[in-house]
Structure 1
Amino acid sequence: MVKETYSFERYLNVRAAFGPHFSPDGKKLSFLTNITGVAEVWSVALDLQAATPLWPDQLTFRGERVSGAVYAPHADTLLVSGDIGGNERAQLFLLEADGSSLTPLTSNLDVMHIFGGWSPDGQHITYSSNERDARYFDIYEMEIATGERRLLLQHNGTNYAHSYSPDGSQIHLTRWLSNTRSQVLLVDRATGAERALTPEPDTEGRGTVYQAAAWSADGEGLYLLSNRERQFHSLAYLNLSTLELRYLSEDRWDVELLEVTKDGTRLAMAVNEDGYSTLALFDVSQGWEQRQALLTPTLPRGVIYDLTWSEDGSRLALTYATADDTMDVWVWDLVAGAIARATQSARGGIPRTSFVNPSLVHYPTFDGRQIPAFLYLPTEQQQKLPVIINVHGGPEGQARPIFDPVTQYFVSQGYAVLAPNVRGSTGYGYDYQSLDDVRLRMNSVADLQHAALWLRESGIADSKRIVVMGGSYGGFMVLSAITTYPDLWAAAVDIVGIANFVTFLENTGPWRRKLRESEYGSLEHDREFLEQISPIRSVDKITAPLFVVHGANDPRVPVGEAEQIVAALRQRQVPVEYLRFEDEGHGLIKRSNRLLAYPAIARFLEQQLHK
């Protein structure tokens, strides 16, 4: 019997739903989905007794990416965030819940606006913006009825507003000193006075992160996640009177999501265990010491991306993804003890049985460490295969076992795909995450070399058909791999990658540069080293044919990075193909562009691997 195969276009038409939020009365759920080709806001009535999800209503028709939508506390309106052309300069909008109007609340299209939260009475919002100076984010408040806004906190740093206190008198915020150092503060709404709740991180010492803070039921403290003085992010309680931080659990893995009900009585958290998520729920109405564990839903092994409680705390919505099925929104009813899919994203007409789950593997690298990776194999032949090593971005990122149409397509065509979590990846503790910092950068590239060697020696890979592919920082890893270990690769694919660390740091968004220097190094102190390890400096060593994709509006890795490497290879007559998208930023968001780029990549690899 001949196995049915499907075009790349079919795989790229698999949809996803995410970013849920309950209406104040709990009868509707807003969410984002890319049904139309780009993420827009949709809404669905909740009926957990229905055999299948009810058909949703589309609420926005921007034709541009929406990044978030949050209901007001007491009104049938939503606060919506979205940018244009992938430029990440998000604007804020007020959306009527029936979709009848979408009113801009901000109008400076050159400025980023990052939503914080609604005031308890629903009359105001708080947000962060770099309007004053592109390098810094200040805290603002806006009155929704009049559109009047005021500057609550001016500070030459990266300040992100979050939620209001239960009585509405204060707003808690996070101040980031680098990508691995943050601080929690309160700002008084009436006076603008700030109060630090955690110490200012030592810029030279060990990184410490505080995140996901949520108010306790009595308003006397914050639940939050932190890795202060420990390897993993764990659940902690911060007493607002004494500023004592007390850890509430001892975890072997990162707690990565934390959500507390509006009244502070129920707590949900998701733990990242070797890339897979586990969910824990507690009644904390009498405090953590008197907590009661609540029943949790049974779900297939996968990854949780969002958690949000209904207004009354009786339901929990979560975005859930597995490697062999679409990303969708599920709702867990605590009273009924039942979970149901609130959305049903289309699978492009491809049977779910066609999709493959990965195996969690570990391979040895140069210093004896075992590198975790997810290995996808076709169901038929599993030896001497063409293999794609797909490198995640970040570098503080992690390959997770979620549905990826690109991976699933290539596996269906007989490729193996290996998604490694090389040193520097998150999810495996602070020390592991720090193993590639600054002068250790090239050790992570050596982990890619050993991935290729392991694939070859295990018999999985045909040694003459190994490809390296990656996006963003993963794009740097691709370019570095083909310059440092040129003989290993049959071809390579660089998507929005860094070719030159010096020009990258000079030209990246000014709000990002100082946050990234603790990871990459600074131009002031490390310029010579950054020049030395930049792939553009070793371009003469490249022999692998290269495919490059970049968005013209990329604020993180400017498009000049792609154009440097493409020009250098064309000058040297090394095979290179280049797709530049004028309406994209850091990665390909719009389906129309993905339908151009990824089939072209597939044709390129077919040509290079089957000469």
Structure 2
Amino acid sequence: MVKEAYSFERYLNVRTAFGPHFSPDGKKLSFLTNITGVAEVWSVPLNLQAATPLWPDQLTFRGERVSSAVYAPHADVLLVSGDIGGNERAQLFLLEADGSRLTALTSNLEVMHIFGDWSPDGQYITYSSNERDARYFDVYEMEVATGERRLLLQHDGTNYVHGYSPDGSQIQVSRWLSNTRSQILLVERATGAVRALTPEPDADVRGVVYQAAAWSADGQGLYLLSNCDRQFHSLAYLDLSTLDLHYLGEDRWDVELLEVTKDGTRLAMSVNEDGYSTLTLFDIAQGWEQRQPLLTPTLPRGVVYELTWSEDGSRLALSYTTADDALDVWVWDLEAGAITRATQSSRGGIPQSSFVNPSLVHYPTFDGREIPAFLYLPAEQQQQLPVIINVHGGPEGQSRPVFDPVTQYFVSQGYAVLVPNVRGSTGYGYEYQSLDDVRLRMDSVADLQHAALWLSQSSIADSKRIIVMGGSYGGFMVLSAITTYPDLWAAAVDIVGIANFVTFLENTGPWRRKLRESEYGSLENDREFLEQISPIRSVDKITAPLFVVHGANDPRVPVGEAEQIVSALRQRQVPVEYLRFEDEGHGLIKRSNRLIAYPAIARFLEQQLASHA
């Protein structure tokens, strides 16, 4: 191994900044950063003429994760959302913009509250909540000054509330029927009358999503993203009088982000091209046909995570990262034609030149398909290496070329890291995304087998030192890989993974179960198959030493999944180490816990690979 230049602690001390939102007067920008070890709300003055970002102020001191902070349209206050211990049961708070007071607006700690929007006059907020029945999300409106609320939409389904209409008379809602099917509704604020703007997708046909809807300047239609009748999510216009949907382009990749200014005159969108983001801006004040392209900032190849416009539409804030630089907030001033880094997250004292950018590669798998992946190689040696195959969660997620301190640390230690987008991943069209649905589940695991074979055959990997690691669904992939292809792996790391599909579906948050059945299958129809492919059923085949990490408060993959696999391996005297964190949920959020878990994983892998040297 290469001698350590920087400790794992230094890599884990690289900070991130995200979640930007402009104050109504445009003079300040709120954002979230984990400088203190967990995401809190901060604010920074916007002086775009300054050579370096101004020093920000910390506004919240909860010591628990904040997930969003959004300014009111006409007042110096923010609506803040945050949970406790990673349990995802978010509560809503009102925060004075100077940080002087944080007031709870909700108090049922067993219920999820998902913020929607501020009303145009700033007197009300909307949110979705599952307080009536844990399985379903209804829509509520609250008068902020009094705390009085009323039920706007009750429905036995998953209803997420979004923006008000420009005149405040209607509220936009997305209804998710599964993780791959949704529709858009309008709710009359005065009467509660519901109008479906898009049809309910047929469960027997394919996944169809309508999302990210924003009002046009004349109020006669909505710009939105959809994959109806096509492979990729594309920009479309929905005429509200006829409900005709008209696509505005033929995209070869997913349009993944869409933001329109409050007056409907400017549109920003980001396209996911093979994992990298491409940002474009348009003046659409006279409609799409008369659109005028706007100057777009030049940035290194990376990934845009969020877009948000200032109140007057003159500036655009984006959360942006590259594989060799931290996630930060940037502000594009359209009038000045200049982009400024509004935050400057610490790189842990590590020179940026020490970080590695990946290569985009494609490797062959069992059915002749080429699987896209990002390959990170150390500079010193690029053959016969120990290799970590890091599998994303989802399943319908996508690995992107973003900064990951864990990957960067292992590469600095002489490992190669391969981050594949096996079948079932998003970003490559609906057909590719659906190739692992239900009875096809194990085909995606076979893609991992072929990743290991390709690494060995290409001489990148020492075939005796290949490790598989992943979190959430990626944790299932890890456990499935070491049970299905046990001879390929020197060691494995399972973070909040699924060991038993039956107990997972029985115990996952009730609001999630129905949404996941189109992807995983149901206990009613597919129980025998789910039992058959569950790693716990083949635990006797595991020979690779395993490291397991889980949070006790995980509502998605309950901690019992970890307990099952750890107990089974200990009974069989297979080497297994287990870290359980009582104050974490689905993944490790708090830096104090990350500083325990990841160095322990590194030591574990070092010990296991030593026997294969």
Give the TM-score normalised by the residue count of structure 2.
Answer: 0.99
**1:74 alignment partner AA:** H
SS of equivalent residue, structure 2 residue 436: coil
Shift in Å at residue 203 of structure 1?
1.3
- The 5-angstrom pairing of residues 141-156 of structure 1 reads 141-156=141-156
SS of equivalent residue, structure 1 residue 556: coil
Alpha-carbon distance between aligned partners in 2 of 1:424 and 1:196, rounded to the nearest angstrom: 30
Correspondence for 1:9:
9
Alpha-carbon distance between aligned partners in 2 of 1:438 and 1:245, rounded to the nearest angstrom: 31
Unmatched 5+ stretches in structure 1? none
- 1:283 and 2:291 equivalent? no
SS of equivalent residue, structure 2 residue 538: helix
SS of equivalent residue, structure 1 residue 532: helix
SS of equivalent residue, structure 1 residue 70: strand
**1:187 alignment partner AA:** V
Correspondence for 2:518:
518
- The 5-angstrom pairing of residues 521-600 of structure 1 reads 521-600=521-600
- The 5-angstrom pairing of residues 318-337 of structure 1 reads 318-337=318-337
CA contact (8 A) 2:4 2:413 kept: no
Q: Provide, for residues 563-584 of structure 1, a one-character-per-residue CA deviation record: whole Å limited to 9, x for no partner.
A: 0000000000000000000000
**2:339 alignment partner AA:** I
- 1:397 and 2:408 equivalent? no
Alpha-carbon distance between aligned partners in 2 of 1:379 and 1:211, rounded to the nearest angstrom: 42
- The 5-angstrom pairing of residues 173-572 of structure 1 reads 173-572=173-572
Correspondence for 1:87:
87
CA contact (8 A) 2:185 2:195 kept: yes
Alpha-carbon distance between aligned partners in 2 of 1:81 and 1:202, rounded to the nearest angstrom: 34
Shift in Å at residue 321 of structure 1?
0.4
**1:586 alignment partner AA:** H
SS of equivalent residue, structure 1 residue 120: coil
SS of equivalent residue, structure 1 residue 577: strand
Shift in Å at residue 3 of structure 1?
7.8
SS of equivalent residue, structure 1 residue 361: strand
**2:438 alignment partner AA:** V
Q: Provide, for residues 333-360 of structure 1, a one-character-per-residue CA deviation record: whole Å limited to 9, x for no partner.
A: 0000000100000000000000000000
**1:43 alignment partner AA:** S
Alpha-carbon distance between aligned partners in 1 of 2:249 and 2:143, rounded to the nearest angstrom: 40
**1:225 alignment partner AA:** L
Alpha-carbon distance between aligned partners in 2 of 1:363 and 1:12, rounded to the nearest angstrom: 31
Correspondence for 2:102:
102
- 1:122 and 2:117 equivalent? no
Alpha-carbon distance between aligned partners in 2 of 1:456 and 1:278, rounded to the nearest angstrom: 34
**2:268 alignment partner AA:** A
Q: What is the percentage of aligned positions where both structures have the same residue?
A: 89
Shift in Å at residue 201 of structure 1?
1.1
Alpha-carbon distance between aligned partners in 1 of 2:188 and 2:440, rounded to the nearest angstrom: 42
Alpha-carbon distance between aligned partners in 1 of 2:152 and 2:48, rounded to the nearest angstrom: 42
Correspondence for 1:31:
31
Shift in Å at residue 595 of structure 1?
0.1
Alpha-carbon distance between aligned partners in 1 of 2:610 and 2:355, rounded to the nearest angstrom: 25
SS of equivalent residue, structure 1 residue 435: helix
SS of equivalent residue, structure 1 residue 585: coil
Aligned residue-pair number: 610
SS of equivalent residue, structure 2 residue 556: coil
SS of equivalent residue, structure 1 residue 514: helix
Larger mean Cα displacement after TM superposition, 200-209 or 457-466: 200-209
Unmatched 5+ stretches in structure 2? none
Shift in Å at residue 51 of structure 1?
1.1
**2:424 alignment partner AA:** G
Q: Provide, for residues 480-537 of structure 1, a one-character-per-residue CA deviation record: whole Å limited to 9, x for no partner.
A: 0000000000000000000000000000000000000000000000000000000000
Correspondence for 2:60:
60
**1:604 alignment partner AA:** F
Alpha-carbon distance between aligned partners in 2 of 1:48 and 1:391, rounded to the nearest angstrom: 40
Shift in Å at residue 4 of structure 1?
6.9
Shift in Å at residue 49 of structure 1?
1.3
CA contact (8 A) 2:4 2:412 kept: no
Alpha-carbon distance between aligned partners in 1 of 2:396 and 2:50, rounded to the nearest angstrom: 40
Give the TM-score normalised by the residue count of structure 1.
Answer: 0.99
**1:565 alignment partner AA:** I
Larger mean Cα displacement after TM superposition, 7-16 or 47-56: 47-56
**1:465 alignment partner AA:** R
Q: Structure 1 pair 573/4, CA: closer, same or farther in 2 (3 Å)?
A: closer
Alpha-carbon distance between aligned partners in 2 of 1:523 and 1:205, rounded to the nearest angstrom: 21
**1:207 alignment partner AA:** G
SS of equivalent residue, structure 1 residue 434: helix
Alpha-carbon distance between aligned partners in 2 of 1:27 and 1:371, rounded to the nearest angstrom: 46
Correspondence for 1:603:
603
**2:187 alignment partner AA:** V
Alpha-carbon distance between aligned partners in 2 of 1:3 and 1:223, rounded to the nearest angstrom: 53
**2:603 alignment partner AA:** R
**1:531 alignment partner AA:** E
Alpha-carbon distance between aligned partners in 2 of 1:100 and 1:239, rounded to the nearest angstrom: 45
Shift in Å at residue 180 of structure 1?
0.2
Q: Provide, for residues 276-334 of structure 1, a one-character-per-residue CA deviation record: whole Å limited to 9, x for no partner.
A: 00001000000000000000000000000000000000000000000000110000000
**2:439 alignment partner AA:** R
SS of equivalent residue, structure 1 residue 204: coil
Q: CA RMSD in A?
A: 0.7
Alpha-carbon distance between aligned partners in 2 of 1:37 and 1:531, rounded to the nearest angstrom: 39
